[in-house]
A and B are shown apart, each in its own frame.
Chain A
Amino acid sequence: MTSETGRPLSARLADAGVDRRSFLKFCAGITATLALPAQLAPKVAYALDKVDRPTVIWLEFQDCAGDSEAFLRSRNPSAADLILGMISLDYHETVMAASGTAAEKARDDAVAKGGHLVVVEGSIPTGIPGACTVGGKSAEEILRAAVRGAAGIINVGTCSAFGGIPAAGPNPTGAVRVEDVVGGVPVVNLTGCPVNADNLTATIVHQLTFGEFPARDRFGRPLFAYGERIHDTCQRRGHFDAGEFAEQWGDAGHRKGWCLYRLGCKGPSTFHNCPSVRFNGGTSWPVAAGHGCVGCSEPGFWDTMSPFYDRLPHVATSGFDLTADKIGVGVLAATATGFAAHGVGKVVQHRVAAHHEKQAARDRAADAADTAATADTAATADTAATADTAATADHEAPIGKAHTDAETGEAE
């Protein structure tokens, strides 16, 4: 496939002052973000050079535009390069020139051509269809029409992927996630509140390069971004293991970078690559800045992770994190199963193997510790659901609940 006007992406980027070397560097960076072997970087570059700019339709429903804003902050490539060079963003209410019927026509024409990507931000109010209309049409109607003939759906943010804040209790509008309304096309869930722009770019590049979305976990989240727990890659982890905790905002431990677990950090039960990719061009991430993780990439986090300043239950803090690992392991095991069910492209198979290997090692370590810590009932739990029961029994935040809920949802 040749690109429109016959000019490869690298040439189009050159118009924008992005030289060949920077282009290759970008491809290498994305390859790393995607956790692909470095040898694949030239393939990424080759594929990107050949591909036609795909049509992208960005829909906003019950949202706050936080994901749109995150997208505008993209770098490597920048939003300008993305919009002018890599994709054809034919419909996006927050940035498009046209309004009213002219805007709706742009959307309908793009859909009619087919093969487009649909990016969705925000949830769908099925309880009160009048709680989100555009051009007099309900969110559900617009969504159904837009995915017809689409190559895939990219849910950005926790709202479209899991219902997000509108679906938090008591869910006043009957808000649901996108997958509860439409199906039949590949879906990838880039959760987070808001989405991390680097993960969005990497996902689009993967789709352009390999013609499919990256391998995903059972919640539809790409493994490259959601395959590891915050807690396992956290810069404060050494302090957790050493039993060094900040106790209050601004105390000496807090100033020395000690672990935020006692101030409510949800890193031990959250899967996201914030510690390595960070935000705003790699500048920082919440735990680095001093506030605990709130678990924004997990299903139902507004209810299951709150109160946000209560500490996670059953995370042993005497120098080893036995139960924290246990909670995570349940999720990871389920993740791997869902992953297998999705089918795995050859290029990332090694990645799965590495996951299984790592997880098995963790299992063994945890099991060994299990036997030692016989007093703690939760320690024998080896699924998220069991951890949940244990947590509830203790009248603490039900950490595993999110996963259980989503499981039920998927089974329906």
Chain B
Amino acid sequence: MSRLVIDPVSRIEGHLRVEVQVDGGQVTEAYASSTMWRGIETILTGRDPRDAWLFAQRICGVCTSVHALASVRAVEDAVGAVPPLNARLLRDLIATSLCVHDHVVHFYHLQALDWVDPTAALAADPARAAALAQSISDYPRSTAGLFASVQTRLKVFLESGKIGPFTNGYWGHPAYRLSPELNLIAFSHYLDALDFQREYIRVHALLGGKNPHPQTYVVGGMASPIDLNSQDAINANTLQEVAQILQRGLDFVEQVFLPDLQAIGAAYPEWTTYGRGLGSYMVFGDYSLSPPGIARPPRDGLFPGGIIRNGNLAAKPEPFDPSGIAESVAHSWFRYDDPGAALPPWKGETTPQYTGPEPPFEQLDVAGKYTWLKAPRYQGAAMEVGPVARMLVGYTSGDARIRPLVQGALDALRLPPEALMSTLGRVLARGLETRLMAQYSLELVNRLRDNVAGGDLAVADTGRWRPTSWPEGTLLGVGFHEAPRGSLSHWVVIEGGRIRNYQAVVPTTWNASPRDAAGNPGAYEAALVGTPVADPQRPLEILRTLHSFDPCMACAAHLYDAEGRDIIEVRVQ
């Protein structure tokens, strides 16, 4: 039995460490640790609630607008502001385009190198690569000439001896199994996707000034004025340009992303059996346009909410109940007044208490506290969240859009629905969701244009802008959002026009959660068990499963301080 430590886990957002026991060429036990923490929720305490979204957005620079959205929704819920339809459409447009962008970047730039070996592409025949690519999609750049030039560029680069981000990759590992041609196609699309993502996300700049970190949300609506005929507002030209970019995005997803996914997935069939994990999934639900459409989980959104337990895909999902969420810190570097308690978010208390080894260190004490993440639980159970949860809940609830989308993909790959509960299943579900979102974004832009053309120019509920217009007393608010990585919620307590408590329970905290007080592991920890490890010096397989979740550790690690206590005082070093 040997302990294997992977730190840093690269190609994710932020700082993740995993320690695993490997026995007989397999992972038998795994511990996930988030090794960075900033304290953004504490920093929010005492501030103007209308500023919260700007701070909260900096929780993550990758899923760069989701915290802004959950945050304004939480404050709006607390103070009773109702954003008008234009604002809801603009927000969903920013969110859907982010989702498409984020999933494409994840697949090509954060995950693909686990399946694709660029060094093997040097042996490819560009003409055969072109023929293969043309047989699976209409993408106009699939020509022998293009593949030949990409291959030359790659060759010059690799032979230069300065291979930058590809240095010390696990090239030549026996677990790589694509043909040289597929490796060349995938590497070529790695480069195309770099260009694609840069152009595509201009949608955020057009609607919100910039990306990352669009600067356009306000409590009650949006700060972007809209008027089809004004030069100084979102106008007919802006919407036309947005629609064109979104259409190109849909083309890229259909002509490049999905065919690549299918081709790569088909080469690694056993990965539909590895990495299942918890088998329990949670979706809040989101993308409903019916008013108020803000805070409480919607019943009629694009993504239906629901809970699947223990891999049971035969039953309809249970409805999601917000009061089921509570967090434990039994294995987290925080201290509760009652160490065994599981606290619901509005009552969340967090006092950092670092009891890990002083750096530099070799190993964590996994029997004790070992991460900056709390352990969120739903009615006491660990849950997996994310695209696979949304596709499975949509599928099992018979959703009119999601069910046929998922069924079509399963049929094409000759897989049963259970196959989605796996490492490759997560990757596949993410691709399907990308297509759904790319299509839906075009519907949104049309709807927005129609609404504005009808004379509705409102972008904000300005009646609830001044704190003097807010209700008296202690105000509680929650903002739910289905972010690219899964179910996100921000919880706020406002008193006297100031934030008294702020708490974010984010997707990666659910998935990367440590053990809870009862010893139940989180989704990463469960999914890694059973993963094969051919060469412990080069643990490629472990990365495949970890990356399939699209970890975002900056999002996951945070802290809240309910009573405004001086956390510097109680810090343990």
Contact = CB atoms under 8 A, between A and B. Distances in A.
Contact of A128 (B14, B224, B230, B352): B352
A308 B68 CA distance: 15
A231 interface: no
A255 to B, nearest CB: 4
Contacts of B224: 289-291
A288 to B, nearest CB: 6
Nearest to A11: B156
B571 A128 contact: yes
B265 interface: no
Interface string A121-146: 00001011111111111100100000
A100 B8 CA distance: 5
Contacts of B223: 249, 263, 289-291
B93 to A, nearest CB: 13
A283 to B, nearest CB: 4
B6 A69 contact: no
A278 B211 CA distance: 11
B458 to A, nearest CB: 6
B218 A249 contact: yes
A250 B225 contact: yes
Interface stretch (A83-91, A354-362, A366-374, A383-391): A83-91
Contact of A97 (B42, B166, B201, B566): B166
Contact of A291 (B12, B47, B209, B227): B209
Nearest to A121: B61
B191 interface: yes
Contact of A257 (B12, B47, B231): B231
A90 B293 CA distance: 46
B175 to A, nearest CB: 14
A353 interface: no
B216 interface: yes
B361 A250 contact: no
B453 interface: no
A93 B233 contact: no
B39 interface: yes
B455 to A, nearest CB: 13
A102 B198 contact: no
B160 interface: yes
A294 B153 contact: no
A237 interface: no
Interface stretch (A21-29, A168-176, A178-186, A404-412): A168-176
B202 interface: yes
Interface string A155-180: 00000000001101111111100000
A166 B352 CA distance: 14
Interface stretch (A59-67, A211-219, A326-334): A59-67
Contacts of A99: 6, 8-11, 539, 543
Contacts of B156: 5, 7, 12, 15
Interface string A101-134: 0111110010000000000000001011111111
Interface in B169-225: 169-170, 191, 194-195, 197-199, 201-202, 204-216, 218, 220-225
Interface stretch (B51-59, B306-314, B394-402, B433-441): B51-59
Interface stretch (B23-31, B129-137, B341-349, B459-467): B459-467
B354 interface: yes
Interface residues of B, number: 114
B499 to A, nearest CB: 12
B32 to A, nearest CB: 14
B194 A90 contact: no
A165 B230 contact: no
Contacts of B567: 170, 172
B15 interface: yes
Contacts of A138: 359-360
A221 B82 CA distance: 41
B416 interface: no
B164 A135 contact: no
Given A291-B209, A291-B224, A94 B7 contact: no
Interface in B549-567: 554, 559, 566-567
B164 A83 contact: yes
Contact of B58 (A69, A137, A193, A257): A193
B457 A168 contact: no
Nearest to A285: B209
A114 B369 CA distance: 39
Residues of B contacting A: mostly: loop
A146 to B, nearest CB: 14
Contacts of A69: 61-62, 64, 211-212
A283 B207 CA distance: 10
A98 interface: yes
A278 B195 CA distance: 19
Interface stretch (A39-47, A72-80, A317-325, A337-345): A72-80
A73 B213 CA distance: 13
Contacts of B38: 62, 125, 131, 165-166, 172-173, 175
Contacts of A67: 61
Most chain B beta carbons < 10 A, residue from A7, A103, A290: A290
A37 interface: no
Given A79-B198, A84-B153, A255-B457, A136 B362 contact: yes
A235 to B, nearest CB: 8
Contacts of A150: none
A349 interface: no
Contacts of B113: 97
A337 B73 CA distance: 46
Given A95-B165, A136-B362, A289-B209, A72 B356 contact: no
A248 interface: yes
Contacts of B40: 165-166
Contacts of A75: 198
B538 interface: yes
B426 interface: no
B176 to A, nearest CB: 12
B68 to A, nearest CB: 11
Contact of B462 (A127, A250, A255, A291): A250
B2 interface: no
Contacts of A125: 38
Contacts of A255: 225-227, 230, 232-233, 457
Contacts of B152: 15
B198 A65 contact: no
A365 interface: no
14 contacts: A7-B156, A53-B162, A60-B15, A66-B60, A88-B164, A97-B165, A99-B10, A100-B6, A100-B9, A125-B38, A170-B42, A289-B216, A290-B216, A290-B223
Closest 4 CB pairs of A and B: A66-B61, A257-B232, A172-B39, A97-B169
Given A166-B38, A169-B43, 5 more contacts: A95-B10, A102-B169, A133-B35, A136-B361, A137-B359
